[in-house]
């Protein structure tokens, strides 16, 4: 079992440490993607929060056969589109 699979199993079992591990592993990547799209610090914070909250509330949406990082990036980009279409 890969590290990502172990983390996602923990999240599915409501293990908060698993969510912290996921955050530690990927938050910089998600932040950098958000920052490239929108340099506003508060928008970046919103995006990062949204992505990790989405994983916590619906882990099944991130447990695909594809790589977890790709799912996290897709979630970030989808939220970016949503935020930019709201304004």
pLDDT of residue 64: 78
CA distance 86 to 31: 20
The string of pLDDT tens digits covering residues 41-84 is: 999 999 999 999 999 999 999 987 679 999 999 999 999 888 77
Q: How far apart are CA 51 and CA 53, in angstroms?
A: 6
Asked whether the predicted pLDDT for residue 87 surpasses 60, the reply is: no
Please give the Cα distance from 57 to 35 (Å, whole number): 24
Its domain, for residue 40, covers 3-86
For tokens 């996602």, the residue is 8
CATH of the domain at 36: 1.10.1740
Number of domains in the chain: 1
């Amino acid at each position: 079992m890969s590290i990502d699979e172990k983390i996602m199993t923990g999240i599915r079992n409501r293990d908060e440490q698993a969510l912290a591990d996921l955050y530690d592993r990927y938050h910089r990547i998600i932040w950098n993607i958000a920052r490239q799209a929108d340099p506003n610090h508060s928008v970046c914070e919103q995006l990062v929060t949204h992505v990790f909250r989405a994983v916590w509330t619906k882990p099944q949406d991130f447990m695909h056969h594809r790589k977890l990082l790709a799912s996290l990036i897709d979630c970030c980009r989808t939220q970016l589109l949503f935020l930019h279409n709201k304004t």
